[in-house]
Amino acid sequence: MDFFRDQEVARRNARLLTALFVLAVLLLIAVINLFLAFVLTASQTLDSDSPTAFQLSDLDIRLTLLVSIALIVVIGAVVLYNWIRFSQGGRSVAEALGARPAVSNTKNPLERRAQNVVQEIALAANMPVPPLYILDKEPGINAFAAGISPGDAVVAITQGAMTQLTRDELQGVIGHEFSHILNGDMRLSIRLMAMLRGITFIGDMGAVLMRSAFSHRARRSSNNSNSNTFGLLLIGLGLYFVGLLGGVMAGLIKSAISKQKEYLADASSVQFTRNPRGISNALKVIGGYTPGTLVDTARAEEMSHLFFGQVKHRLWLMFSTHPPLENRILRVDPHWNGEFITRQENLSLREAQASSETGIAQAQRSLAAALPLVMAPEVDNIATSNQQASETTWFDQPPEDLTATLIEEAREPLGAMSLLLALLWHENTPKKQRAAIREAKISGLEALVVQRGRELQNLKPELRLPLIELCLPTLKTLSSPQYNQFKGLLINFVKADGQIELFEWCLYQLVRHYLDPHFIKRSSKPQYAELKVVSEPLTVALGTLALLGHGDTDTSFALGAQVLDLPLVMPAVEAMGVQQFGKAIEQLANCYPLLKVTIIKALTRVAEQDGHISPKELTLIKAIGAVMDCPLPNQVLHNVMLSR
């Protein structure tokens, strides 16, 4: 699955959505103006006691223009309000649907299992672990991902998905949702929600006017009052029916946009988990489960295109937002015999099966998920990779009991802060770093940093990035003053030895990139559609990576430039410091999705000029991908390298 090409498809779908929305609004404006003209003509007929035929020439141009402008302003305001509301991040969408955040230290083994699955797939995707939300009162098997970017995404599952699915099946469902995060579907879905709300809002206005008319009529009984009430009722009824038309158009737009991306997400789930039985069996369980994927929460139908499966029964829907279940199963399991999976209710058994979701067993699973495929091709799938992970010897990893401790510490704010600082620990020059911690006055932090810093001194690069990704979501629970305090401490820690290394840049930039938008509300959109526009930052990025490698610098740079098909010139060494490199990557982050994959291919070509990619180079490429808001799943990196 080419996530970058899927992002480009999502961008084209966004243009299609905008075009359909404009057409729908124009149609609604035309219908409302015709309706008002008809009402005015009917009113004149009643007043004059002589029948008057309605003609288009009777339209009052000034009134039509005023009504059209008013409708555009109202619809635009509703769309803007909902876009601002839901673009705050996936959390606002999850809360609007009545979901609660999963408890990090929960004693519920099934809830802990779900959190662990989200963690493992995030590590395989080389992105920070998104928060998990639970829809407690929903027995149907369903899930959704929401957010604007990977940094503010959340994943939510229903109670039914948590209790009815096995671990492999839950991985398949959550892997499906992660593909929506990576291929740009989430932003499209938020835009779709905001625009469709603007269309259906007209019907809500009509319903309010009708209720007001009935209430007014109940209080007053004069002839003039009855006449006014009738007019109000007629206008409300008209707007209500126009709203129904808007609802039909909204359903048509959702159906047109949503179906194909569900097939793509199912296929992507197979690549994430490397286990096609997970997603296929989950779909078969849904087919044999009476509640299916139904969701009863109030706003589920409005946001139906977000979900893994259909939220309402097909009998009550004019336009379905998801392909038929049978078709989805056959896409991932062509040899399916047509039988669904039926299970007996046995919650205690499933809780017992989930009892190994803590300690060393879970630490092994997390390590296995984090391993790059290019370095561990023998690991077939996340679900069965525990044994392989414990037997690999090609890198130095912490002892299993320490790994389990680190994973648990990453779930707590103090532990997450200490682990990030420990990765920057300099055993040879600790005085300035310890002084920086004392100056920050964070109780208990110094002892933890010193202990973990010594234990993680020799941690290999390929495990450093996953550890960072485990810690970042936890830091979102800090208050703004606490985050600013920690960010200042992090800067002082990086500068303590008088020089900034590339890994230190990676860590700081990842923290800034994923956490700044959470505490400092901002968003960005692609600016550069051609590589030649960003030639200068490309030379800095390729040149820096060429200097880092062990091959011939000029040859490495030339190979990268060849992939980009640009006449680039190797910059001077003094123009390739860490600060210049950071600015270059920030500029490249504003390229369109398909350009980003070309940039990653060029960087990979530079790194492997000497015959292999070192763990240090691979970690840097993955960090660059993350900072460019384009996380690189291990499978994608594997495919990029195979394509050379």
Positive or negative, the CA dihedral 457, 461, 462, 464 is positive
- With cut-offs at 50, 70 and 90, classify the pLDDT of residue 580: confident
- With cut-offs at 50, 70 and 90, classify the pLDDT of residue 468: confident
Q: CA-to-CA distance for 357 and 112, rounded, in angstroms?
A: 7
Asked if 421 and 453 touch (Cβ cutoff 8 Å), the reply is yes
pLDDT at 377: 40
**% of the chain beyond a pLDDT of 90:** 19
Asked if 78 and 324 touch (Cβ cutoff 8 Å), the reply is no
Helical ranges in 125-222 per DSSP H: 159-164, 167-182, 185-219
Give the rounded distance of the alpha carbon of 309 from its chain centre. 17
Asked if 123 and 369 touch (Cβ cutoff 8 Å), the reply is yes
Q: CA-to-CA distance for 464 and 483, rounded, in angstroms?
A: 21
Give the DSSP H/E element, type plus range, for residue 135.
strand 132-135
pLDDT at 248: 78
Give the rounded distance of the alpha carbon of 434 from its chain centre. 37
Q: CA-to-CA distance for 546 and 236, rounded, in angstroms?
A: 68
Structure token digits, residue 579: 């600060």
Instruction: Give tens-digit pLDDT for 11-64.
Output: 566 677 677 788 888 888 888 878 777 777 766 665 565 555 556 566 678 888
Q: Which position among 111, 120, 177, 446 bears the catalytic label? A: 177
DSSP state, residue 412: S
Residue 321 has pLDDT above 70, yes or no: yes
By CB neighbour count within 10 A (0-12 exposed, 13-18 middle, 19+ buried), where does 16 fall? middle
Top pLDDT among 65 and 298 is at: 65
How many C-beta atoms lie closer than 10 Å to residue 467's C-beta?
24
Asked if 593 and 526 touch (Cβ cutoff 8 Å), the reply is yes
pLDDT at 269: 86
DSSP bridge pairs for 144: 156, 307
Instruction: Give tens-digit pLDDT for 330-389.
Output: 988 999 999 999 987 766 666 666 666 665 556 566 655 655 543 444 344 544 444 444
Asked if 148 and 183 touch (Cβ cutoff 8 Å), the reply is no
Top pLDDT among 224 and 374 is at: 224
Instruction: Give tens-digit pLDDT for 77-113.
Output: 988 888 888 777 788 899 989 999 998 778 888 998 9
By CB neighbour count within 10 A (0-12 exposed, 13-18 middle, 19+ buried), where does 93 fall? buried
Q: Where are the domains of the chain?
A: 3-88+188-253, 93-184+266-332, 359-519, 531-628
CATH fourth-level superfamily of 93-184+266-332: Metalloproteases ("zincins"), catalytic domain (3.30.2010.10)
DSSP state, residue 180: H
Give the residue among 134, 143, 120, 403 at the shortest CA–CA distance from 275.
120
Instruction: Give tens-digit pLDDT for 491-534.
Output: 888 887 777 777 787 888 888 878 887 787 655 567 888 899 99
Q: CA-to-CA distance for 97 and 193, rounded, in angstroms?
A: 13
Residue showing tokens 């004149």: 44
Annotation says 301 is catalytic: no
